Amino acid sequence: MVDVARFISERVRTRPAYHVPSAAPAIKLDAMESPYALPMEVRDRWLHALRDVALHRYPAPEHYEHLKTRLARDAGLGPGLGVVLGNGSDEILQNIILATAADVTVIIPAPTFVMYEQIAAILGRRVVPVPLTADFQLDLPALRAALARHSPALLFLAYPNNPTGAIYPRDDVQALLAAEDAIVVVDEAYHPFAQQSFLPALAEHGRLWVVRTLSKQGLAGLRFGWMAADAAWTNEIEKVRLPYNVNSLTIASVEFALDYADVFAAQAERIRAERARLAQALAPLVTVWPSEANFLLFRPPVPADAGRIHAELRSRGILIKNLAASGGALAGCLRVTVGTPAENEAFLAALARAL
């Protein structure tokens, strides 16, 4: 007999594993990936750049440090600020919570990115969700009260938010940064589509940490993320980072990608244009919320139909995200990633039939 309960934490046993659905459908619009692969000529140069990577050696520490310096330079980070690299931004988030003291309460707006709560709860941290307003904006008085009541606190803000797509007013975030005895982690996973950032504010806010990823702009398969903050913080986060957490192929690939930032910027511009067109096309059919990310949250006229619509789209080879089971403010909601024009047209046609 396998005595799971004796050895595995109840925090783990009582939670489901994060489910990633099969990518078998022809049109995959559920995971906020870029629909655009690298142009073939750029891909050939990338493969050439990987030719001499020493796979028989562990990643060289100087390559890790060089990439940190390059990211800091390209982001315009000033002296006194540090950078930590991660195997995707999820690992960065995990290391943040691992490094903080056990009595630090994790505060999150609700709804938001599920991994904040998932990681914090599994690591045994107290999690306090603070509901967003009816239009999916921050409830500033409630958040301020929660920060004061649960100090010391760690506040996660997805900017723009996932799964709503909303970007919070900058003044609201600034007000939260003024909270005493709280660290504010601003997760800028969707920065290429919002084009607003708190990186320039790092020098003036000592308890601001900013997390970025390359996943949403076309490099999800690399699993690469990074965090910037005052070096006093990043020096501590480095202590919980596993050695060689970013592999040699990823380091070389990110260095290469930074040289082709204009290619990814052009792709993001196309996605922003398609986002506007897709939102306009959805408006007569469903309730759709404004988004500054690369996805749109929407609710069908009959919210109870969300599950059926999701299943019908999948049967037609189109996979989107069903958020209806989340309940609360997301009851009856679905989320679609912005795809190519052809993918978006196929989605709209299938949605119209399902409705």
Q: Over the stretch 98-117, which tens digit does the pLDDT of each residue have?
A: 999 999 999 999 999 999 99
Domain 56-260 matching CATH 3.40.50.150: the answer reads no
For 25-69, how does the pLDDT look when each residue is reduced to its tens digit (9 = 90+)?
Answer: 789 999 999 999 999 999 999 999 999 999 999 999 999 999 999
Alpha-carbon span 285 to 283, nearest angstrom: 5
Question: Quick one: pLDDT band at residue 3, thresholds 50, 70, 90?
Answer: confident
Is residue 20 pLDDT above 90, yes or no? no
Sequence letter at residue 256: F
pLDDT at 229: 98
Peptide bond into 163 cis (omega under 30): yes
Sheet of 225-230, strand order: 81-86, 225-230, 208-213, 182-187, 153-158, 105-110, 127-131
Q: Which CATH entry fits the domain spanning 4-40+262-354: 3.40.50.1220, 3.30.70.260, 3.40.50.300, 3.90.1150.10?
A: 3.90.1150.10
User: Mean pLDDT, to the nearest integer, of 203-211?
Assistant: 96
Is residue 298 pLDDT above 90, yes or no? yes
For 126-143, how does the pLDDT look when each residue is reduced to its tens digit (9 = 90+)?
Answer: 999 999 999 999 999 999
For 39-51, how does the pLDDT look when each residue is reduced to its tens digit (9 = 90+)?
Answer: 999 999 999 999 9
Domain with CATH 3.90.1150.10 in the chain: 4-40+262-354
Phi-psi region of 199 (alpha: psi -120 to 50; beta: other; left: phi over 0): alpha
Question: Quick one: pLDDT band at residue 233, thresholds 50, 70, 90?
Answer: very high
Is residue 314 pLDDT above 90, yes or no? yes
Domain with CATH 3.40.640.10 in the chain: 56-260
Q: What percent of the chain has pLDDT over 70?
A: 100
